[in-house]
Amino acid sequence: MDRVWPVTSAPAPSALLRPLLLGVATGARSQLGPAALAWSPPRREDPRPLRLLRTRPGRVAVTLAAAGELVGDKLPRTPSRLSRPVLTAQLVAGAVVGAGAASWAGATARQTLPARTGTSDLPWALAEDATAVALAAAVTRLR
């Protein structure tokens, strides 16, 4: 017999969409992703680097960096975001923010779904793998 799962059996869509949106924001402005993470509500399971980012000094630093980037982008002497050093910084920042948020989303889903559905972790682990493979394959086909 098929089991009917309650609507709350899956993580919130925002938990799954968060890494994508943070990566996009960080790609546009390299300091916006870290600033958004610094000001996001804390969770008990947050990793140490994220907890440090949410301290008063961490929040001040990333907020000033984001504000500086937003202002600096408008100055006539600011290099193009496509120049090698600027693009490299954006790629690194986007990768760190996106990977961290995606890791958090995946780990949360892998803890939440088996507990809420009464199933083992294996189907959810395989679903996570399939999703990652599908996303990677889709990216290679983008033009």
> pLDDT per residue over 76-130, tens digit each?
888 888 889 888 888 888 777 777 777 777 887 888 888 888 999 899 889 888 8
Q: Give me the helices (H) in the chain, please.
A: 13-28, 32-39, 48-53, 56-72, 84-117, 122-141
**CA dist., res. 135 & res. 140, Å (int):** 9
User: What is the CB-side half-sphere exposure of residue 23 using CA atoms within 13 A?
Assistant: 14
Q: Tokens standing for 82? A: 């496509």
Query: Does the pLDDT of residue 30 top 90, yes or no?
Result: no
